[in-house]
Amino acid sequence: MIEIPTLYHGTDLRFAKLPEDLRKNFLAYCHYLREVLYAHFSPYYSINEPSHESLKSFMEDVQDENPKLFENLREGLCDIMMSKISEEYEYGSLYLTSWMFSAIDYAKKAYAGGEFAFAAYALAKAAKAKGLQEWYNNEQLNMEQFVDSLIAVAEAKPDPVIYKITDINPSFLRTEQNESIERYIRNGKLTVTEFRYTAPLTLSNYEYIIVDDDFIEQQNKTTHLNYGGNDCL
């Protein structure tokens, strides 16, 4: 018998509440952006070039005005590249964690629609800043309008939340590295904290917590008390 702890899913409420058909459409458009823009940006990017001089040189005319744009672009390119070479990167599953601070981090980073959509946003924003809309324009898909909407939503006020996931079927639960959880069970308890859930899960069936400064402060206090005030935690 496996004891499954309460699991958490950090996200942005604006995207969590999208109807399933709109969610699928949103992800399909993001997938298109990731693929076409990575093909254009990849000649300037290599993970084996830690200084990223080629990418910096290409983005030089806009980087000084908006350093964050470059950092987002670099992060987005890395994410897409890793998704192409690693089986650990899979976006069809729902990512869960048993550690609240990990869920808080996920929620705060979900302002563009999650990791998958963030890369699409970062690359599209950079291409637009360079005046290279032709890299992603597709009149049939009305892609220019989608990019404008994606950027506007990502840069609007976020709504980070954490869903408390309980009563799930452990047979659909795998580790973040897509391994069976069986090898990580000790005395009936799981020894890992990050998971992916491979079956459909309707978030609206679960309650959520609003992630604001008061909530984070309370979690910090709780952690401080539980762990004796270790500043490294």
What is the pLDDT at residue 33? 97
**183-194 burial, b for 16+ CB within 10 Å, e for fewer?**
eebeeeebeeee
- The rounded distance, in Å, linking the Cα atoms of 142 and 29 is 10
What is the pLDDT at residue 233? 33
Q: Could you report the per-residue pLDDT of 148-175, keeping only the tens digit for each?
A: 999 999 999 999 999 999 988 999 999 9
Rounded to 10 deg, the angle between the 143-154 and 20-41 helix axes is 100
- The rounded distance, in Å, linking the Cα atoms of 18 and 11 is 12
Q: Are strands 208-210 and 173-175 parallel, antiparallel or unpaired?
A: unpaired
Contact between 215 and 165 under an 8 Å Cβ cutoff? The reply is no
- The rounded distance, in Å, linking the Cα atoms of 194 and 174 is 9
Entry pTM: 0.84
Amino acid identity of 191? T
- Identify the helix (H) or strand (E) that includes residue 146: helix 143-154
162 strand-pairing partners: 10, 209
What is the pLDDT at residue 90? 59
Residue 112 has pLDDT above 50, yes or no: yes
What's 50's DSSP letter? T
- What mean pLDDT comes out for the span 128-136? 95
- The rounded distance, in Å, linking the Cα atoms of 22 and 149 is 14
